[in-house]
Structure 1
Amino acid sequence: MRRDYLRPSRLFIASILAGTTGWSGHVLLLPVALAFPVLWSRARTRSGAALVSAGYFLAASRSLPQGVATFYASDLWPGLLLWLCASASFVAVHAVLWTKGLGVRPLHYLLAAALTALPPFGITGWAHPVTTAGVLFPGWGWWGLLATTAGLMGLVTRMWPAVAIALTGFWLWSAADWTDPNLPEGWQGVDLQMGSSLGRDASIQRHRDLIATVKDRAPRGVETVALPESALGIWTPTVERLWVKALQRTDISVVAGAVRVDAEGYDNVLIAVSAGGGRILYRERMPVPGSMWQPWRSLFGTSGRARAHFFANPVAAAGDRRIAPLICYEQLVVWPVLQSMLHDPDLIVAVGNGWWTKGTSIIAIQRASAVAWAKLFAKPLVLSFNT
């Protein structure tokens, strides 16, 4: 039989299209990512499976080089290097677990999906196809996650056309009746457009401007206002006193991002502050690898890195509500939200500071991912981003 030399190229191009379209930032297009397991299973060699995995992942994370270049005010080379390094774990897992054996292929794909969803490989487990569960099975919760996982396994078998037709039916049914998650009663998320100055401008005037924004954006009936990641800058007793004093004679509570610094490094946190005082509500479980989380620094005895509280504080108490907090990067990976959902929170609060993503689809992808998870578990959602 004549060997099909064009097959790897066709699969590679198709995987790029799947990654680009599925992770375009439009939540209803997420199920396009389900083409990946089909393409992975259609590869005839391990190298072909690696090529498919690389095409899908690199296309899904295509905005990373430009974002890194903007963040560091540099050329594209650092971003390109990080882009390639981040893809290594995803490609390696799917290449190693690819198999010709039809009988064991679904189990191999299940193991690959699990490994890329959980640490350590899940630390860079972006663009995970299981995120589509919220679009396919909104409101199904853990059963929807199980159904999606079963569908992913079915897509790598000979029965994949029938499985694909069934999943497409659920997709179209969901899209026809789609509504965004509800905003929880008494909550308001505020988007800001302060660029790179947010979190860096520590002036009293900047805090007064934010306080005025909170009061302006809190209509009657709103008790809690969410501000983006890093909105309060470095959290100090002075900043706390300023905000507590400003919120006197109001019933408003503010949940906002900040940084808590000590001699060894810093925590990326959410602060809850009201007229009664301020406190750390949540410490980020997964800061951005490379730019924030740098575990290798400890090997050289240097400080300044962000700490990762991997499986700590999955939920936090804000007033009489239990919230699932997701700061920036945590919205792109699977395990933080699933860990939070194990505790059945009342709502999801997703914040980010994405000034460096201008001209890319990163914030749109973060929003789409958060919306998908909120829809899957039927949780109200509060969003707050700075651009």
Structure 2
Amino acid sequence: MRRDWLRPTLLIIASVIAGTVAWNGDLLLLPIALGFPVLWSLARTRSAATLVSIGYFLAASRGLPQGVATFYASDLWPGLLLWLSASASFVSLHALLWTKDTGSLPYRYVQAAVLMTVPPLGITGWAHPVTAAGVLFPGWGWWGLAATTAGVAGLVSRLRTAVAIALAGFWLGSAAFWTDPTPPQAWQGVNLELGASLGRDTSIQRHRDLIARVKDRAAEDLRYIALPESTLGFWTPRIERLWTRSLEGRDITILAGAAVVNARGYDNVLIALSAQGGQILYRERMPVPGSMWQPWRALLEESGGARAHFFANPILTLGATRVAPLICYEQLIVWPILQSMLSDPDLIVAVGNGWWTKGTSIVAIQRASTAAWAKLFAKPVVFSFNT
């Protein structure tokens, strides 16, 4: 009897540790997430595999309850409910695809990994172990992604020990010569510390303060400056005129977040601003489910919430530069960045408004995840966050 509960208990504890350590915001620790498929494959029953999946996913997304409580200025219960419900797709899929047939496990796990990459399951595909590809195989691009996928399949097979040793070698070699991705010389990302007021304080004085900050950052060799999600608040002709007039005589373009309201809700967008005017260049493909994207409203014939544009506009163009844009939640899931990489952009621009994540590692995880993808595809990256 003791053996019946000891093995699954140890596997669950190990999965919690893997989720906690891998997703703490330290980029070089992401490969620890590859411990999850190993632990999942070592389970001897479907219930044990389910509990291993629960332990890993809940540990990896542990900052969600506190973040939601801060966002809604409420107690932890709404956050806990969202935390548990968000894990449903990940846990259910891994429970369903687990099998006692060890020969089939590699195919089953790869199937789960693919399904957790793309919608609909990919909508909550956080903490995906394949994100570690950028640490294991920096610069390998699609070959690195394929090698990681093959490695994961090996980790759930009888060859797991040999595969783990090989992957550990790549990990150590990469860490020994690691350099963080940097922005191009003509680009700069501006980080703000304006808390919940960003995007909500719509006063002209706030915009003038932001314009002054941008001008202070402008240098002769800068052509583009990125500002966080929601910086411009609601996008209106009045705001456009204010910013474009302030940029007269300057050969500089601002890429900033805003909200565009329509009859059905709103779009979370990135807008390019210069002395020539403003232009919407990107509409967010995947807003935060629940708090922003609320698809049930359409079923109830209600308006409101952010629209999801899923596979639209994977890149935006500024002059001759092709940019892979990622707004906030898109940095935590897999398909937006992979879709953008199919177009071979020149750089990645990652923006967010993370004031509600204070006291959690969510923003650090967003940055680490984006940096890992940037390293995999050897792309420079520009970050701009508000906290």
Q: Give the TM-score of the pair, scaled to structure 1.
A: 0.99
- Give 1:73's aligned residue: 73
Find the counterpart in structure 1 of residue 283 from structure 2.
283
List per-residue Cα deviations over 1:267-321 (Å, max 9, x = no partner): 0000001001100010000000000000000111111110000000000101210
Q: Please tell me whether residue 28 in structure 1 is matched to residue 9 in structure 2.
A: no
Q: Distance in 1 between matches of 2:359 and 2:325?
A: 26
Alpha-carbon distance in 1 for matches of 2:102, 2:139 = 33
Deviations 1:237-256 (A, max 9, x none): 11001000000011111000
Separation (CA, whole Å) in 2 of partners of 1:183 and 1:354:
21
1:371 corresponds in structure 2 to 371
C-alpha distance in 1 between matches for 2:120 and 2:262: 26
Count of aligned pairs between the two proteins: 387
State the match for 1:193 in structure 2: 193
Q: Are residues 1:326 and 2:333 paired?
A: no
Per-residue CA distance 1:182-224 (angstroms, 9 max, x = gap): 2112100000000000000000000001111111112220010
Q: Which runs of 4+ in 1 moved over 6 A?
A: none
Name the counterpart of 1:255: 255
Gaps of 5+ in 2: none
Residue number in structure 1 paired with 2:308: 308
Question: Percent identity over the alignment?
Answer: 73
Match of residue 382 from structure 1: 382
Query: How large is the RMSD of aligned CA atoms in angstroms?
Result: 0.9
Distance 2:212 2:29 in 1: 38
1:2: Cα distance to partner?
7.7
Give the structure 2 partner of residue 176 of structure 1: 176
Residues 1-10 or 191-200, more deviating: 1-10
CA distance in 1, matches of 2:353, 2:300: 30
User: Once the two structures are superposed, what CA deviation does each residue of 1:93-152 show, in whole Å capped at 9, x if it has no partner?
Assistant: 000000111211100000000011111000000000000000000000000000000000
Q: Counterpart of 2:89 in structure 1: which amino acid? A: S
Q: Given residue 370 of structure 1, which amino acid in structure 2 is its aligned partner? A: T
CA distance in 1, matches of 2:31, 2:100: 26
User: Which residue of the partner structure matches residue 355 of structure 2?
Assistant: 355
**How far does residue 3 in structure 1 lie from its aligned partner after superposition?**
4.2
Alignment of 1:1-387 (within 5 A): 3-387=3-387
From the superposition, tell whether residues 382 and 2 of structure 1 become closer, same or farther in structure 2 (CA, over 3 Å): closer
CA distance in structure 1 between the aligned counterparts of 2:359 and 2:319, rounded to whole angstroms: 37
- Measure the CA separation in 1 of the matches of 2:84 and 2:209: 40
Amino acid at match of 2:63: S
The whole-number CA distance in structure 1 between the counterparts of 2:160 and 2:105 is: 12
Distance in 2 (alpha carbons) for counterparts of 1:58 and 1:143:
30
Structure 2 CA distance for aligned equivalents of residues 127 and 2 of structure 1 = 32
Letter in 1 for 2:152: L
Q: Could you tell me how far 1:383 is from its partner in structure 2?
A: 0.3
Aligned AA for 2:57?
F
Instruction: List gaps (5 residues or longer) in structure 1.
Output: none
Inter-partner Cα distance in structure 1 for 2:133 and 2:324: 18
Q: Aligned with 2:5: secondary structure?
A: coil
Per the TM alignment, residue 347 of structure 1 is displaced from its structure 2 partner at its CA by 0.4
